């Protein structure tokens, strides 16, 4: 394994984190521009939501293939391809004459993001020695959690001052500058191995992950949604059977034979669904129940998002390094469970400071789960399987976030139609039920973390 000097490592890490920051930032920049996009293209809320759905679908399809791409191509070439996808995805939507063109741009952004995150995690884990990987994953946590915190603020300023197209024009120069840095300074880190793409595996994974996520995010006919979920599930089973039979699979699913890795994947998927659900429910509560403005809901979310960003970096990983994985993770799920139970009792009279503090404690608990346990899962794998491990962890997050969100939000949609969605008290019942469902999710996570005490895989050990 190549040893990197401190200066060279810092340069590589700076390039990777900058690329990933722009990737995550663009995922959240467009959300506050949705109302203006709806007005410009004369579309409804269901149609504009596809800008988020196609982004997730593109990631779901690309992530499983990244393990093969990382083995087959140099990390420099892949990073250039991902950022080039992003640059074209900026120019195309900025000039989009219609909504369809804007959707194509979001697909390209999702494709770039789908390659970016697993590649970043793989390279960071390879340039740092095993004992410093907690620090490396802390950097990842800091970057990917700061972007969602400041993204809506930046987007709001641009949309209010100019138009939604300014979101793409302003960030395009940064993307082009980043491409220049990658071309000039980026070095190859990963080792290329003989690899052949299995076309059938690609097709099965695309149908499986795309179909299931499309079905769970579909707002149309329930019959069509169930059909897509059924087709996706069958394709997923066929994909699993094929990967286990191939001598050189596209995605090495035998990583699940390692108990720590398998358990952590389930826990992180559950915690990510909890995170996404609560972040979605809270603005609904603040705006639809308490009748505060969108700016007020942003004020509540921002401190919690920054808490997640800070705690996901060195404090969380440092504690894991000294206390192991089981104790902090169990304590964190206890905290998340308690905060979810308390927030299920929120009312129209709950003050903004109280809600903000509760959300901050909740996010601090989540921070002690995601990045540290991801480090634990990947440390349980040998270097040659890290690319497969990062692809699996990112796919699990997409599934956890999508499916968990749909399940928890369904409690709100059942309550809101009873009063046409206009009665705050009726909507409050749905919000309280959704928070209670989040409490149950956290309780399940707590039970699963108890299994971490039984694993012996620590700091690279295996059972």
What's the confidence (pLDDT) of residue 453?
Answer: 52
Structure letter (DSSP) for residue 454: G
In angstroms, what CA-CA distances link 81 with 86, 142, 275?
9, 24, 30
Give the count of beta carbons closer than 10 Å to the beta carbon of residue 318: 14
Looking at every residue in the chain, the average pLDDT score rounds to: 74
What are the pLDDT digits (tens) for 284-315? 777 777 777 666 777 777 788 778 777 766 54
Produce one character per residue of 356-391: b if its CB has 16 or more CB atoms within 10 Å, e if not: bebbbebbbbbbbbbbbbbbbbbbbbeeebbbbbbb
CA separation for the pair 150, 306 (Å, rounded): 9
**Half-sphere exposure of residue 23: CA atoms within 13 angstroms, side-chain side:** 30
CA separation for the pair 321, 342 (Å, rounded): 31
| Residue 459 binned pLDDT confidence (cut-offs 50, 70, 90) | very low
What's the confidence (pLDDT) of residue 17?
Answer: 85
What's the confidence (pLDDT) of residue 398?
Answer: 72
| Residue 318 binned pLDDT confidence (cut-offs 50, 70, 90) | very low
What are the pLDDT digits (tens) for 10-44? 888 888 888 888 887 877 777 667 767 877 888 76
Arithmetic mean of pLDDT, 114-121: 80
Structure letter (DSSP) for residue 219: -
Contact present, 434 and 408 (Cβ < 8 Å): yes
CA separation for the pair 288, 352 (Å, rounded): 14
What are the pLDDT digits (tens) for 397-427? 777 777 776 777 666 666 655 444 456 666 6
- Interhelix angle 259-284/352-367, nearest 10 degrees: 170
Please give the share of the chain, as a percent, with pLDDT higher than 70.
75
In angstroms, what CA-CA distances link 261 with 7, 23, 237, 241?
32, 26, 20, 20
């Amino acid at each position: 394994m190549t040893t990197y000097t401190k200066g060279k490592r810092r340069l590589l890490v700076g390039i990777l984190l900058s690329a990933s920051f722009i990737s995550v930032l663009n995922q959240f920049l467009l959300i506050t521009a949705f109302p203006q996009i709806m007005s410009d293209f004369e579309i409804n809320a269901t149609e504009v939501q596809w800008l988020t759905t196609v982004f997730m679908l593109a990631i779901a399809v690309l992530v499983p293939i990244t393990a093969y791409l990382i083995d087959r191509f140099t990390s420099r070439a892949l990073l250039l391809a991902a950022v080039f996808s992003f640059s074209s995805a900026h120019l195309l939507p900025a000039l989009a004459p219609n909504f369809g063109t804007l959707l194509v741009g979001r697909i390209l952004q999702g494709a770039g993001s789908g390659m970016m995150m697993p590649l970043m995690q793989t390279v960071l884990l390879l340039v740092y020695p095993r004992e410093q990987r907690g620090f490396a994953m802390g950097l990842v946590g800091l970057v990917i959690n700061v972007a969602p915190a400041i993204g809506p603020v930046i987007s709001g300023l641009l949309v209010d001052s100019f138009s939604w197209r300014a979101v793409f024009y302003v960030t395009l120069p940064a993307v082009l500058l980043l491409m220049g840095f990658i071309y000039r300074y980026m070095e190859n880190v990963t080792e290329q191995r003989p690899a052949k793409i299995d076309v059938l595996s690609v097709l099965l994974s695309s149908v499986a992950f795309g179909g299931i996520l499309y079905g769970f995010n579909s707002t149309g006919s329930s019959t069509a949604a169930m059909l897509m979920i059924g087709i996706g599930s069958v394709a997923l089973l066929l994909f699993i059977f094929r990967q286990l039979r191939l001598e050189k699979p596209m995605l090495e699913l035998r990583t699940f034979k390692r108990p720590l890795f398998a358990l952590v994947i389930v826990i992180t998927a559950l915690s990510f669904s909890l995170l996404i659900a609560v972040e979605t429910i809270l603005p609904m509560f603040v705006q639809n129940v308490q009748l505060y403005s969108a700016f007020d809901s942003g004020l509540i979310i921002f401190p919690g998002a920054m808490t997640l960003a800070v705690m996901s970096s060195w404090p969380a990983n440092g504690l894991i390094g000294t206390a192991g994985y089981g104790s902090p993770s169990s304590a964190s799920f206890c905290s998340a469970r308690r905060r979810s139970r308390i927030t299920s009792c929120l009312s129209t009279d709950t003050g903004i400071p109280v809600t903000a503090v509760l959300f901050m404690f909740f996010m601090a608990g989540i921070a002690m789960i995601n990045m540290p346990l991801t480090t634990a899962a990947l440390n349980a794998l040998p270097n040659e399987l890290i690319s497969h491990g990062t692809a699996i962890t990112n796919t699990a997050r997409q599934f956890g976030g999508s499916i968990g969100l749909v399940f928890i939000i369904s409690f709100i949609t059942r309550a809101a139609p009873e009063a046409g969605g206009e009665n705050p008290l009726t909507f409050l019942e749905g919000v309280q039920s959704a928070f209670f469902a989040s409490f149950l999710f956290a309780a399940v996570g707590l039970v699963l973390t108890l299994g971490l005490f039984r694993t012996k895989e620590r700091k690279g050990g295996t059972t």
